[in-house]
Structure 1
Amino acid sequence: MTLTVAEVLKLPVVRRAEPEVLSKRRLAEPIRWVHSSDLADLSSLLQGGELVLTTGAAFARGSREYLRGLAKAGAVGVVVELGTVVSRLPASAGRIADELDLALVVLHRKTRFVDITEAVHRRIVAAQYEEVAFDRRVHETFTELSMKGAPLLGIVDAAAKILDEPVVLEDLSHQALVVSTGTAADLLADWERRSRRSPGKRADSEPWSVTGVGQSSQQWGRLVIPRHASDQARATMVLERAAAALAMHRMVERDRTGLQHQAQGGLIDDVLRGRISDDRDAAARAHALGLRKAAQYLPAVVRSPGHTPLGDPVAAHRRNIALLDAVAHTVNAAGHSGLFTVRGDGEVAAVLALRDNRIPLADKALEILGDRLRREVHRVDGVDGAVLALGPPASLVTDAIAGMSEATDIAEVALSMGDNRSYYRASDVRLRGLISLLRDDRRVQRFAETELRSLLTSTLQPEPSHLTVLREYLRLAGNKAAVAERLHVSRPFVYKRLAEVRELLGVDLEDGESMTSLHVALMVTELSRGRRPATVTA
């Protein structure tokens, strides 16, 4: 906190001297010090930022020359006591001071300059001491948090408490990852759009204080005060210190996750292999490794399409570790906890303890988590997309670990589906899930080939082909009008294509069993070829 010229004039000792402002320039500018002297040339005594007190003797040589010397020396302004040496200043003094960008004030009553100097210097020293004490408090607070390994919320809350301002940690996609406790909901309204406009020079830019988190070339987030800060200098300093603590937290977590995730993976492997069968032992180890106690635990799998470079298993391993780190960090940053392990190339399995298991809060939390996981996983080199699959909730840790296998099967099916759900459960994959599990069975493959052979071997046609029309016909439960609308073709065209399909296959397309059989065969073919079902934009 600094003292301005205007604030000096409001001090009781100055007000008693009846000050009159002749030049209002730089009244709002902070002063560094107060210097009293009647010397005509102060250029060797001033360092810049001073407010000069004088009886006016130096004005005898000429107002312009004296004031120009002060301006060159860097003074902010000059206060002249009238009556001791001079009774009034030249009429041009105010105009000259204004031209030279100097504050000029006259005192109409005699006063002791030492009283003014003492009052101002006491304020300046007190303000400087307060700033030093504030800096030390900020340094000690964030150093202690870093040493204790405080969570992200603890660091964000500390910054908010010091500044008495709301503070938000967001990722590079402008999603609010951590919000300080007690932040008003209206400050978070329409967050993503507003955040993209801040900071900025446009008239509609938000007047927010923003500091990047992470090294400039590897920033992974931003700390934001989502309103105009009452003290911008302090806000900047605290946010920068908090950002450093967050960056250190991230680095420590990355170093820690090597051992921690090995331990978590070892626990999961011990349970799956039967080396640990007592849930009390498994739960005790799980809670010691960071899994919070909860009424229900969710088996989960985050699966991305594998793209292992041939002959480069090291690169694949690094990518999987980066994937594991991204998943764990995203889950923890969202306020949940979990056990994590790599189960295969591009696959991370977990047991999750949600922050709140109550419905519909849990469903909303999973939706947000799934969206964040998809974004964060996409940042990992070599990973193109991902799905979050959930097994059945379990009250025991061991049961949740056993449920990972079902989550894995769901994830495998989910990758072949064409929608963009935030997360998948068994109820979302249904028949496609069963077919996915059986698709490598030669009897299932032979069935599909038999059902569709005539179409698969028919002459290639421009889209929409026989297979495309049949697929949409079956997906839309035989609604020909809906098929025409979906494919953007006429109804006669659909009728013609279906008649050709009926003739080629030799089956009744109106028969329920025939429709089911063909639909299953199409699913088997699509999953066996490793592609998602064709989608048509409406």
Structure 2
Amino acid sequence: MTVTIAQVLALPELNLRVCAGDRGLDNEVRWVHVSETIDPTPWLRGGELLLTTGLKIDDPEQFGPYVHRLADAGLAGLGFGVGLGYDQVPGPLIQAAEERGLPVLEVPVDAPYVAISEAVSNLLAAERYDTIARAFDAQQALTAAAVESGRGGLVAEVSRALGGWAVLTDLAANVVRAHPAAAADRLPALLPDVMRTRERGIRSSGSVVGPTESVAIHTLGARGRMRGFLIAGVPGAASDYSRMVLAGAVALLSLEMERSQAARQQIRRLRADQLAQVLRGAVTGEVAAQHALAWDLDPAAVRVGVYFCAASRGSQVCDELNELMAEANLPGAVVAQEAGRQARVAVLVDGSETAAAALARLASVRPMVPLGLGDVVPIEQVGLSYRAATHAAEVGRAERRPVTRFDDLEALHMLIRAQSPQALAGFVRRVLGPLKQHDQGREGTLLATLSTFLTHNGHWNETAAELGIHRHTLRARIDRIEQITGRDLDSAYGRMELWLALLADSAADTDDQPVPEQGTGRAGRGSGPEQDRK
């Protein structure tokens, strides 16, 4: 609802008479302004009802250009006072006003301008009160819809309150709800505007104004985290009422999405606990298959991915991975396992290349979180895929590449797959056993030095820089490692044996990871070889 020239004209106490510009009577009046200057346009913003007596205009022929200037400035209407400078509204003014469709109201000499200003102000106040009352009723209806029907009812109520359409999307601009259903078809054309709004961040909005409707785009979320978008179209121009309705809808939908997010977090923690047990082989194949089905996975073809990162980033990477999977509609489960200063984030997904490509997106961010991809296996053999993914991630971290597939590591594939776990454990004991025994109580100093040295391909400066020690200290440690292990680190074969032993030891640590505490989704710190080594 707006105040128009027709409404002002209809006020009986003002005795106004329209003498030109009938087709502009529906023009919206924003305010009343009084001016006797020949060119008042610098002080106009558009939408005013301008009151004048034309005292400054001596030549009636100047009224034509005068009216055109006012029309160009977006004036709503002109009130011309008679009985002072002019006994009647000048003919050139009426002619120009008819040409431009600008309403001209004749103001009698006994109608004070202040009375007109007060009358319009009262109309505007009443209109404002009506807008607030309607918006309050609409927000009550929105709240009831949220309580009774959740997101679907909210979106439908937004559409009804606006007399237009509404679409709710997730963060990737996938349609979650639309009312009416055909409103979903509007989204493709609006995607560029949605993405621009997303780039501006949380609590931003955008608008698209067309000849017959206005479209508003609002981000949804709270606590600095964007969750999705509300996109709504209203006939004609946006109004204070539509903006109030949308503000209430944004608040309610953001709250609903945050509550849904909290519920999803609970589900993710439960899945993390279950996945940790599946990866350890702590449940039967039948139970593992039931878990896979509950996670929308085919038990006959699953794959494990493992990300390596600092322990301080484990929870963050886990959350980012869950969000990435939600955006990509990728089913599965995620668990973060900490061991000393390192965290492994394991994810179980389907065996498709689509899933592998989605996981690779997170690995390529900065700082890089190397991803190892295991084999595609039935759920009963998921431990094999987990160990393979861990090996691949170790190699990827050493070679500073974001994604490494175990299938591409042919030599390692042949070695690991050809050996039983018992044989590999014996190999690790023979090669690294004395060094691990020496490092007990020393925070794994020599093992960490060896791993870093091999990771940097025996480059002294890079190794010393990463460890934060002097080259002479590094030299002393390498000499000590050679003495304890009996391997020559200047020898390619000696380095190969030590490197393979470190990889096999890492895989053995994977098998020894403890089950996360119930509801945490993260493994606790154990006392196995990995803990000693760190």
TM-score by length of 1: 0.47
TM-score by length of 2: 0.47
Structure with the bigger RCO (C-alpha within 8 Å, sep 6+) is: 2
Structure with higher strand content: 2
